[in-house]
Copies of this chain bind each other. A is one copy, B any other.
């Protein structure tokens, strides 16, 4: 399943250059990637814990998919734009989303996960597949602006079955839009295996639209970085859309509400745990001597601080002002909203008064 993929880092941590996807692997880069994985993983763990204690309503674990996410996010320029699903903590992290900001959504105080203008990342939607079209439209806007930018559009294997992802590919090809689609094939859409979505590798879908595609090892952070960078560059230069299938695995439950024991084997999990993207990176860093104990300790301390900050920010966070729910339904005043808000204000006043 992972044999026919582009891979720059073997499971044993050996680097193998690929002529089409050149990448300069400096110790600084390695340390950056290492740090990003560690911090992403810490937020993931803390968020699961916060959900368990009732502070969050839900959490979508990312364990196992950090490699592709962090690699791909580093392939983006600050001026590029991204669209993702809920399960892309690695990308959120690299783009500079504050996890506290993100957790507002899972806390239930806000639908908005961050300010897209600051991080160059559209707020995500839970409606599967639908943002693939937004990506293409945004890329068509870039084209019309003549800007030197491109879009990274991420979705899951399940999403590839939706009509919207198809129409996104059709539009991207028709208008030669500067967008790179990145499918994280994590083998499952909740309880449904990827074999129910397709019997050919997902990467082969692209050719039918005249879009080039690449299948990569999604647990190899360097492959994700190298391949995505080449394809984003190509898109920026007018080369048009491209498609990446990253073969990876969701090792946690679909969400904290899920019970994966109902549908999958422990053995599968063990196999993929042995391909862990962090372990692989660590092995490589050890090989090249880029992982000194001081650095490791520093990152661990940073992760501890992050965890503590998260817990403090979320625990017992106050509920919002009820009337806040009427804000921003429209950009301009709307009679029905105004009236409903006034009625609610009156009602709340009565209730308080009584």
Which A residues are within 8 Å of any B CB, using their own CB?
Answer: 161-164, 166-167, 170, 173-174, 196-200, 204-210
Report which residue of A166, A167, A197, A204 has the largest number of chain B beta carbons within 10 angstroms of its beta carbon: A166
Contact of A166 among B166, B199, B204, B210 (CB under 8 A): B166
Task: Let me know if A208 and B200 touch, CB within 8 A.
Answer: yes
In the complex the two chains form, what is the Cα distance from A208 to B162 in whole Å?
14
| A163-B163, A167-B162 as given contacts; A200 in contact with B205, CB under 8 Å | no
Question: Which residue of B is nearest A163, CB measured?
Answer: B163
Q: Which 3 A-B pairs have the closest CB atoms?
A: A163-B163, A166-B166, A205-B208
Cβ contacts A to B, 16 pairs, < 8 Å? A161-B167, A161-B170, A162-B163, A162-B167, A163-B163, A163-B166, A166-B167, A173-B200, A174-B196, A174-B197, A174-B198, A174-B199, A200-B207, A200-B210, A205-B209, A208-B208
Which chain B positions have C-beta within 8 A of A166? 163, 166-167
In the complex the two chains form, what is the Cα distance from A170 to B196 in whole Å?
9
In the complex the two chains form, what is the Cα distance from A206 to B208 in whole Å?
7
Smallest CB separation, A210 vs chain B (Å): 4
Contact of A198 among B164, B173, B198 (CB under 8 A): B173
Question: Which residue of B is nearest A167, CB measured?
Answer: B163
Which chain B positions have C-beta within 8 A of A199? 173-174, 209-210
Question: Which residue of B is nearest A205, CB measured?
Answer: B208
Which chain B positions have C-beta within 8 A of A206? 208
Contact of A208 among B170, B196, B204 (CB under 8 A): B204
Which chain B positions have C-beta within 8 A of A204? 207-208
Which chain B positions have C-beta within 8 A of A198? 170, 173-174, 208-210
In the complex the two chains form, what is the Cα distance from A196 to B196 in whole Å?
30
In the complex the two chains form, what is the Cα distance from A196 to B174 in whole Å?
5
Task: Let me know if A163 and B164 touch, CB within 8 A.
Answer: yes
Smallest CB separation, A40 vs chain B (Å): 32
Beyond A174-B196, A205-B208, 14 extra complex contacts between A and B, CB < 8 Å: A161-B170, A163-B166, A173-B199, A174-B199, A198-B208, A198-B209, A199-B209, A199-B210, A200-B207, A200-B208, A200-B209, A200-B210, A205-B209, A206-B208
